[in-house]
Amino acid sequence: MLKYFAVIALAFCVGLAQAGEAQPVAEDPVLEARVQALAEVLRCLVCQNQNLADSHAELAIDLKNQVREMLRRGQTEKEVIDYLVQRYGDFVLYRPPVKSSTWLLWGGPFALFSAGLGMLYLNLRRRRQQGGEVLSAEERSAASSLLEGRTGEPK
Amino acid sequence: MRRFILPLLLFAVLVGFLAVGLRLNPRELPSPFIGKPAPLFRLSQLHAAEESFSPEDMRGRVWLLNVWASWCVSCRQEHPVLMDLARHRVVPIIGLDYKDEREPAKAWLAEQGNPYGLSVWDREGKVGIDYGVYGVPETFVIDKSGIVRMKHTGPVTPAVLSEKIIPLIKELNGA
């Protein structure tokens, strides 16, 4: 029994060892967690669809080091983000800020959704109005004769 | 027939958006520096290690800051254009040798020709970060009072030079 536990425990150790390998300087886990959290919301400008945490581009590593250094010096998350936005623009943020140039980006999906809802509503209302139309006497007799004719001769 | 008009219009709009999207260059980001003072630094020069350079030294002149490196492939493509610009003495060009080693950088200039009035050595790429460099080569046009007027990311082509950079330099020098 103990042997199995040992094997399982060892298996976990292997995982830890591999996970630790790629991480650069992590002597302070609290600081490293803050660096990691920031790196997840910052965009790597070289491989534009990755964040800094995922990217292994040289610039991403440099920027991560810069973030780490600034946090170590006691600067706040907001100061670090402001520093990077000043240099790289809003594009460095994975979550674009809401401002006049991004209204379409933020509001667009909601606008499209409400437009769709509106069209659906109009469509349904029109259909209901059409459905409520009463048949004229001629149409009614034509329909009933058709129905009777069909019941009369089953195929 | 009329029921097709709306989907057709939507399709045309979509095609329009995609067509524009195809032509945009996602690498070209608007630089937040345009109209702002160029970040100051003081770095040692590439050739004269004991001498330093700061953007302050260029006060009163319109100049180009060109970020380059000996490992940078696109810099080779851009190099003849810069050499041509330097030959015509249009504008002083200062090189920022980005994340490079001194010896290969000097050898590269010796081999390719040196269009720079001088180059500074940014070994760690710290000044690069200060200038928001994300793809070498990058070129900044800086005016007499040290304000960044234009930034070009990627190799400077003869077209960019004659249509954008040189007219801007003439305008800035005239003012």
The dotted CATH code for A26-97 is 1.10.8.640
Which residues are B37's β-sheet partners? B147
Average pLDDT over residues A12-36: 66
C-alpha–C-alpha distance, residues A150 and B161, integer Å: 83
Per CB-CB distance under 8 Å, the chain B contacts of A66 are 129
CB B128 within 8 Å of CB B99: yes
Domain residue extents for chain B: 31-172
C-alpha–C-alpha distance, residues B93 and B147, integer Å: 16
B99 reaches A (C-beta below 8 A) = yes
Quick one: which H or E segment has residue B121?
strand B118-122
Residue B30 carries which DSSP code? P
Average pLDDT over residues A31-40: 89
pLDDT for residue A41 is more than 50 = yes
A49 reaches B (C-beta below 8 A) = no
The dotted CATH code for B31-172 is 3.40.30.10
pLDDT for residue A21 is more than 50 = no
Strand, helix or coil for residue A81: helix
Q: What residues have CB less than 8 Å from B40, skipping those under 6 apart?
A: B54, B55, B56
pLDDT at residue B149 in the model? 94
Strand, helix or coil for residue B49: coil
Reported residue count of chain A is 155
Nearest Cα of chain B lies from the Cα of A109 at a distance, in angstroms, of 15
Q: Please report the ipTM that was assigned to this predicted complex.
A: 0.74
CB B139 within 8 Å of CB B165: yes
pLDDT at residue A56 in the model? 84
List Cα–Cα distances, A25 to A69, A70, B111, in angstroms.
11, 15, 38
pLDDT at residue B30 in the model? 75
CB atoms B29 and A62 under 8 Å = no
B31 reaches A (C-beta below 8 A) = yes
C-alpha–C-alpha distance, residues B143 and A106, integer Å: 37
CB atoms B132 and A58 under 8 Å = no
CB B93 within 8 Å of CB B66: yes
Q: What is the pLDDT along chain B (175 residues), one digit of tens a residue?
A: 778 898 999 999 999 999 998 888 777 777 788 899 999 999 999 999 899 999 999 999 999 999 999 999 999 999 999 999 999 988 999 999 999 999 999 999 999 999 999 999 999 888 999 998 988 899 999 999 999 999 998 899 999 999 999 999 999 998 5
Domain residue extents for chain A: 26-97, 98-131
pLDDT at residue A55 in the model? 85
Which of the four pLDDT bands, split at 50, 70 and 90, describes residue A20?
very low
C-alpha–C-alpha distance, residues B121 and A81, integer Å: 27
Q: What is the mean pLDDT of chain A?
A: 81
CB atoms A86 and B30 under 8 Å = no
CB atoms B32 and A86 under 8 Å = yes
The pTM of the full predicted model, rounded to 2 decimals, is: 0.72
Q: Which among B21, B24, B22, B38 is positioned nearest to B151, based on CA atoms?
A: B38
CB atoms B32 and A85 under 8 Å = yes
A85 reaches B (C-beta below 8 A) = yes
C-alpha–C-alpha distance, residues A82 and B11, integer Å: 40
Q: Which residue of A has its CA nearest to B131?
A: A87
Nearest Cα of chain A lies from the Cα of B40 at a distance, in angstroms, of 13
Per CB-CB distance under 8 Å, the chain B contacts of A89 are 29-32, 132
Q: Report how many Cβ contacts below 8 Å link chain A to chain B.
A: 34
CB atoms B132 and A88 under 8 Å = yes
Nearest Cα of chain B lies from the Cα of A87 at a distance, in angstroms, of 5
CB atoms B29 and A66 under 8 Å = no
